[in-house]
Amino acid sequence: MNGKSIQNYALTSLNGASIERYNEDLNRITEPGFYIVNTSMNTPVSGHTYYYLEVIRHAVNASSYVMQRATCRSHTQQTYVRICEGGTWGQWKEQVLADHPMLQEKPLKTLTMGFPYGLNATLTRKDNLVTITLNRRITNIDVFEYRQMIETIPLGYRPTAEAHMVIVPNSGSFTKSPSILHFASDGKIRLTNGTGGAHVYTGTITYITNDPYPS
């Protein structure tokens, strides 16, 4: 046109719609273009068969150097990309959208609950971190080692592995030998205490959890 060459390579079907390629191995679709595919061979996710597929090739007849971008034909809009380098296909990698659940900031969750021997604690969950703060309270704890309590850490706040919270008793301005609250991954609470009598107990611990997020 006007003495200049025009693009004459078909990237779509003649009516402008995506090119249909059904029941084909995606490894074999290396011609540049926009496709609608329905296949189970080398798709990004097992169980998903319909994808909008974009193919980019960086040189003529260079079918061993290709980029594919596949978007699920669904409202999830999951998109995956992979590269063929020197004839070897890499793994599909998901392109995460800004509203992906993994990128959403989790809200701060706070719970105040009773603890062993009349103690009281505030549990705070933010993302995968839990902080437990023992609120100041006077109580009289028996002397024993690693005894299981009736109270438990609720689901949503439990550690990935047993965590040990050092709590310090004090009487007036004098602190005593510390005690230990043991928090198991199943929520069980155990206590080790070597200081008898009435004391004020305080302590704080932060640990990682992989519990489902509390509602």
Please give the DSSP secondary-structure letter assigned to residue 185. Answer: T
pLDDT at 7: 58
| Residues contacting 68, CB < 8 A, separation 6+ | 26, 29, 53, 54, 55, 56, 81, 82, 84
Give the model's confidence band at 3: pLDDT under 50 very low, under 70 low, under 90 confident, else very high: low
- Domain coordinates in residue numbering, the chain: 19-101, 109-208
pLDDT at 112: 96
pLDDT at 14: 77
Residues 116-136 have pLDDT tens digits of 999 999 999 999 999 999 999
Full-model pTM: 0.58
Judged against a pLDDT cut of 80, whether residue 82 lies above it is answered with: yes
Q: How many residues make up the chain in this entry?
A: 215
Residues forming beta bridges with residue 71, ordered by sequence position: 52, 79
Residue-wise over 126-148: b if at least 16 C-beta within 10 A, else e? eeeebebbbeeeeeebeeeeeee
Give the model's confidence band at 102: pLDDT under 50 very low, under 70 low, under 90 confident, else very high: low
- Side-chain half-sphere CA neighbours of 78 within 13 A: 15
| Residues contacting 78, CB < 8 A, separation 6+ | 44, 45, 71, 72, 94
Nearest to 128 by CA among 7, 214, 36, 29: 214
Average pLDDT, rounded, for the chain: 89
Judged against a pLDDT cut of 60, whether residue 6 lies above it is answered with: no
Average pLDDT on 171-181 reads 90
| Residues contacting 5, CB < 8 A, separation 6+ | none
pLDDT at 101: 63
Give the model's confidence band at 66: pLDDT under 50 very low, under 70 low, under 90 confident, else very high: very high
- Answer yes or no: are the C-beta atoms of 175 and 199 closer than 8 Å: no
Residues 182-212 have pLDDT tens digits of 999 999 999 999 988 899 999 999 999 999 9
Q: Which helix (H) or strand (E) holds 135?
A: strand 129-140
Give the model's confidence band at 1: pLDDT under 50 very low, under 70 low, under 90 confident, else very high: low
Highest mean pLDDT among 14-23, 92-101, 169-178, 188-197: 188-197
The CATH class of the 109-208 domain is mainly beta
pLDDT at 4: 61
Of residues 100 and 73, more confidence is placed in 73
Work out whether strand 129-140 and strand 88-89 pair parallel, antiparallel, or are unpaired. Answer: unpaired
Average pLDDT on 23-47 reads 92
**Cα gap 78→54, rounded to integer Å:** 14
State phi, psi for 159 to the nearest 5 degrees: -75, 160
